[in-house]
Amino acid sequence: MQIAILAHEEFPGRAKTALGVLRYSDDEVVAVLDRDNAGQRVSDFVPDVQDAPIREGMADLAAEDVDALLIGIAPIGGGFEASWREDVRTALDYGCDVVSGLHYFLEEDEEFAALAAENDCEIRDVRKPPEDLTVSQGIADQVDAEIILTVGTDCSVGKMTVSMELARDAREAGHDAAVIPTGQTGIMIEGWGNPIDRVVSDFTAGAVEEMILEKGDEHDYLFVEGQGSIVHPAYSAVTCGILHGAMADKLVLCHDAGREVIHGYESFALPDLSTYVDLYENLAAPVADSEIVAGALNTSNLDDDAAAREAVDEYASDLGMPASDVIRFGSEDLLEVLL
Amino acid sequence: MQIAILAHEEFPGRAKTALGVLRYSDDEVVAVLDRDNAGQRVSDFVPDVQDAPIREGMADLAAEDVDALLIGIAPIGGGFEASWREDVRTALDYGCDVVSGLHYFLEEDEEFAALAAENDCEIRDVRKPPEDLTVSQGIADQVDAEIILTVGTDCSVGKMTVSMELARDAREAGHDAAVIPTGQTGIMIEGWGNPIDRVVSDFTAGAVEEMILEKGDEHDYLFVEGQGSIVHPAYSAVTCGILHGAMADKLVLCHDAGREVIHGYESFALPDLSTYVDLYENLAAPVADSEIVAGALNTSNLDDDAAAREAVDEYASDLGMPASDVIRFGSEDLLEVLL
């Protein structure tokens, strides 16, 4: 599939979804739309992802070159910016599908809904959970696949990235591995998945289990994208539901180098690493034997490779298990204990 | 307010909501509707709750005697039984409000919606969460009130009942205490509240916090009704969100005498009590200093008072803290460590 990614005025620094899709999607990105950087290329900003030209808007692209437009940014609050309307309109006029992870559902926008119907294209609001979800049965561990879940010390520490990297590297090493996407970016990359943070709270574990049951007998390894943190004042419910719903065999503890307080909740200090290990394992134990066997450290805020190496070594030593920054130093050591 | 409670063919054994309202509501119950037991009285079946006549249907009551009809039973699946339609219709014709905790939303039923509009009455689906909920800010501990949360070893062990009993007994002892209702029965009894198991998963903690912030400066003690169990394969997300959202000062661990496996998930054994104590306290710790200080044992499945006494004593001894069956033996010992 050939896709365009809308990321006006936010690329690349604040365009997490756009970057995730550029890095991991199998789709061909024909353009990133960013009116601030039109004329440049993705590779001018980010070296290690799929390259693509940056354009002013959908009107600069030929209809036959694009199958779908992805909204690759998410303003605080998840609203739809009026200045993006022209691009979505043009995409639908071209007969392109539109994929969005905004809280504002594009399929409920009257103009877009009418245009989509007229041009026979699909609007997919990936943040809208399917309506047939229900409670967990507690049977995710019955699938053939080994289940590996990323858990974190906080939000935004790299759980999605780690899951994607591990699955890709496992595949490259000849294993049959798939990702179970639980958030909007993961869902956009994989083209399917349940947005766990938007489901009815009673169905949190069930929404994860449903995906594992669907894919678990088709693969040897499932890498479940974790969310939040078990000690997060606001989001721990989602984390707990994923932990029990996934019934994982192995856990990878993800952390952001230097992070000392909960992001956005600065009065809450992160407990030490051994507390996280005990909490995740002890909380999982009555439901599944899930063991933390490796660590993933996000060192993107350290410029110096030597400092990053040192941080990773210290993290591994503190945990007493293999660790890496999977983007910077690869995932070999982790896969050795995971597969 | 004068209310009628619909409990056809399920009273009293399978009418948990009806019994909760009869036991704890300040409203006057003018009748229970149960076509199987019409002509008898509540006190013929249950001695220690508000008494009321049992009637065949709404048509047996005078319009001026009833302000609201409550649906006091919940069939598996939460559907609406066709045989209840006549009673709801009559209630709305009388100008009565209708309050329901079913998954099937009565306000979306075309006939009922039209009748309600015509007769200027309100249909309240208490299982429908308010639309303005959002994420927790992590500030529930800033209210003036001391916050006491019931937590459990499983679902259906008596958390709602314990919260209601403790609040009532605290008030009778001269304290200013209120209940924070989180489930349908609690919401019906109290006349307000957020159905935590139906909110968007990301808002689980926030939906509890919002209620505590609303009431926390008006009372000296808030008894927060807990849900589920932290080790439940399906419902732990809700439990975890309540634990972190409530930021409770004190926890009461509720258990059902003799329960050894998760209700409905019999392949999962309950861990031992010390595991629960550690899990609840350690999981709460990074967000709030919540300590389990007392136990509540549900001995309703033990006929013999002596056996119940023995079970409670053993539970207290295992926990190393005061314990009681608050229905059978009162709450004095618990309130001593809670207030």
Helix axes A236-246, A204-215, angle to 10 degrees: 40
Q: pLDDT tens digit string along B71-90?
A: 999 877 778 999 999 999 99
- Cβ under 8 Å to B: A residues 89-118: none
Q: How confident is the model at residue B239 (pLDDT cuts 50, 70, 90)?
A: very high
Percent of residues, chain A, with pLDDT higher than 90? 96
Q: How confident is the model at residue A262 (pLDDT cuts 50, 70, 90)?
A: very high
Place of tokens 């997919």: A124
Residues of A in contact with B266 (CB under 8 A): none
> What is the pLDDT at residue B306?
97
Average pLDDT of chain A, as a whole number: 96
Query: Residues B30, B66: one domain?
Result: yes
CATH number of the domain within which B152 lies: 3.40.50.300
Q: How far apart are CA A321 and CA A175, in angstroms?
A: 23
Q: How confident is the model at residue A77 (pLDDT cuts 50, 70, 90)?
A: confident
Percent of residues, chain B, with pLDDT higher than 70? 100
**What's the angle, vertex CA B195, arms to CA B191 and CA B196, rounded to 5?**
140
Q: Is B62 among the domain residues?
A: yes
Q: Does B237 touch chain A (CB under 8 A)?
A: yes
- Cβ under 8 Å to B: A residues 241-300: 241, 243-245, 265, 267-271, 275, 278-279, 282-283, 285-287
Q: Tell me what the mean pLDDT of segment A234-247 comes to.
A: 98
Q: Does B120 touch chain A (CB under 8 A)?
A: no
pLDDT over 90 (residue A78): no
Q: How far apart are CA B111 and CA B63, in angstroms?
A: 20
Task: Tell me the nearest-neighbour CA distance from A197 into chain B, angstroms.
Answer: 5
Residue of chain B minimizing CA distance to A272: B286
pLDDT over 90 (residue B154): yes
- Nearest CB neighbour to A244, from listed B206, B233, B244: B233
CATH number of the domain within which B104 lies: 3.40.50.720
Taking an 8 Å cut-off on Cβ atoms, the answer to whether A200 and B198 are in contact is yes
Q: Does B53 touch chain A (CB under 8 A)?
A: no
Q: Is B55 among the domain residues?
A: yes
Choose, out of B199, B202, B260, B283, the residue to mutate when testing the contact with A (most A CBs < 10 Å).
Answer: B202
Query: Residues A207, A121: one domain?
Result: no
Query: Residues B266, B150: one domain?
Result: yes
Q: Does A77 touch chain B (CB under 8 A)?
A: no
Contacts of A72 (CB under 8 A, 6+ apart): A5, A6, A7, A11, A15, A17, A18, A19, A21, A32
Query: Residues B209, B314: one domain?
Result: yes
Query: Residues B110, B148: one domain?
Result: no
Taking an 8 Å cut-off on Cβ atoms, the answer to whether A236 and B244 are in contact is yes
Place of tokens 């932290």: B230
Residue of chain B minimizing CA distance to A286: B231
Residue of chain A minimizing CA distance to B183: A202
Q: How far apart are CA B311 and CA A238, in angstroms?
A: 36
> What is the pLDDT at residue B293?
98
Residues of A in contact with B235 (CB under 8 A): 135, 202, 205
Q: Is A132 among the domain residues?
A: no
pLDDT over 90 (residue B236): yes
Q: Is B275 among the domain residues?
A: yes
Average pLDDT of chain B, as a whole number: 96
> What is the pLDDT at residue A222?
98
Contacts of A157 (CB under 8 A, 6+ apart): A254, A255, A256, A259, A298
Q: Tell me what the mean pLDDT of segment B287-304 comes to.
A: 97
Residue of chain A minimizing CA distance to B209: A234
Residues of B in contact with A265 (CB under 8 A): 138
Q: How far apart are CA A216 and CA A204, in angstroms?
A: 18
Residues of A in contact with B155 (CB under 8 A): none
Q: How far apart are CA A324 and CA A311, in angstroms?
A: 9
Q: pLDDT tens digit string along A285-313?
A: 999 999 999 999 999 999 999 999 999 99
Q: Tell me what the mean pLDDT of segment A31-47 comes to.
A: 96
Q: What is the DSSP string of B22-86?
A: HHH-SSEEEEEE-TTTTTSBGGGT-TTS---BEES-GGGS-GGG-SEEEE----TT----GGGHH
> What is the pLDDT at residue B103?
87
Query: Residues A171, A307: one domain?
Result: yes
Place of tokens 């007229």: A118
Last residue of a domain, one of B98, B125, B152: B125
Q: How confident is the model at residue B268 (pLDDT cuts 50, 70, 90)?
A: very high
Q: pLDDT tens digit string along A121-177?
A: 999 999 999 999 999 999 999 999 999 999 999 999 999 999 999 999 999 999 999
Query: Residues B87, B190: one domain?
Result: no
pLDDT over 80 (residue A76): no
Residues of A in contact with B279 (CB under 8 A): 282-283
Task: Tell me the nearest-neighbour CA distance from A282 into chain B, angstroms.
Answer: 7
Q: How far apart are CA B105 and CA B103, in angstroms?
A: 6
Taking an 8 Å cut-off on Cβ atoms, the answer to whether A234 and B287 are in contact is no
Taking an 8 Å cut-off on Cβ atoms, the answer to whether A240 and B235 are in contact is no
Q: pLDDT tens digit string along B173-215?
A: 999 999 999 999 999 999 999 999 999 999 999 999 999 999 9
Q: Does B17 touch chain A (CB under 8 A)?
A: no
Residue of chain B minimizing CA distance to A196: B201
Last residue of a domain, one of B81, B98, B125: B125
Contacts of B105 (CB under 8 A, 6+ apart): B125, B127, B128
Q: Is B131 among the domain residues?
A: no
Picking from A186-195, A310-319, B73-82, which range would have the lowest pLDDT averaged per residue?
Answer: B73-82
Q: Are strands B265-269 and B261-262 parallel, antiparallel or unpaired?
A: antiparallel
- Nearest CB neighbour to A234, from listed B136, B230, B235: B136
Residues of B in contact with A137 (CB under 8 A): 233-234, 265
Amino acid at A199: V
Query: Residues B65, B161: one domain?
Result: no
Q: How far apart are CA A210 and CA A90, in angstroms?
A: 36
Could you tell me how many CB contacts below 8 A there are between chain A and chain B?
Answer: 149
Q: Does A155 touch chain B (CB under 8 A)?
A: no
Residue of chain A minimizing CA distance to B276: A283
Q: How far apart are CA A182 and CA A176, in angstroms?
A: 20
Query: Residues A64, A153: one domain?
Result: no
Query: Residues B183, B102: one domain?
Result: no
Query: Residues B115, B187: one domain?
Result: no
Q: pLDDT tens digit string along B13-66?
A: 999 899 999 999 999 999 999 999 999 999 999 988 999 999 999 999 999 999
Q: Are strands B68-71 and B97-100 parallel, antiparallel or unpaired?
A: parallel
Q: How confident is the model at residue B149 (pLDDT cuts 50, 70, 90)?
A: very high
Q: Is B135 among the domain residues?
A: no
Minimal CA–CA distance to B254: which of B172, B193, B334, B169?
B334
Q: How confident is the model at residue A74 (pLDDT cuts 50, 70, 90)?
A: confident
Q: Supply the range of the domain harboring residue A302.
A: 140-338
Q: Does B204 touch chain A (CB under 8 A)?
A: yes
Residues of B in contact with A231 (CB under 8 A): 244, 283, 286-287
Residues of B in contact with A268 (CB under 8 A): 138, 286-287
**What's the angle, vertex CA B124, arms to CA B120 and CA B129, rounded to 5?**
140
Q: How confident is the model at residue B262 (pLDDT cuts 50, 70, 90)?
A: very high
Structural domain count, chain B: 2
Contact present, B17 and B184 (Cβ < 8 Å)? yes
Taking an 8 Å cut-off on Cβ atoms, the answer to whether A205 and B236 are in contact is yes
Query: Residues A258, A183: one domain?
Result: yes
Contacts of B251 (CB under 8 A, 6+ apart): B148, B149, B150, B151, B280, B281, B284, B290, B291, B292, B293
Buried b (16+ CB within 10 A) or exposed e, B121-159: bebbbbbbbeeebebbbbebbebebbbbbbbbbbbebbb
Q: Tell me what the mean pLDDT of segment B274-286 comes to.
A: 98
Q: Is B236 among the domain residues?
A: yes
Q: What is the dihedral of CA A126, A127, A133, A138, to 10 degrees?
A: 100
Q: Is A130 among the domain residues?
A: no
Last residue of a domain, one of A125, A152, A170: A125
3-state helix, strand, coil in chain B (%, to 5): 40, 20, 40
Q: Does B135 touch chain A (CB under 8 A)?
A: yes
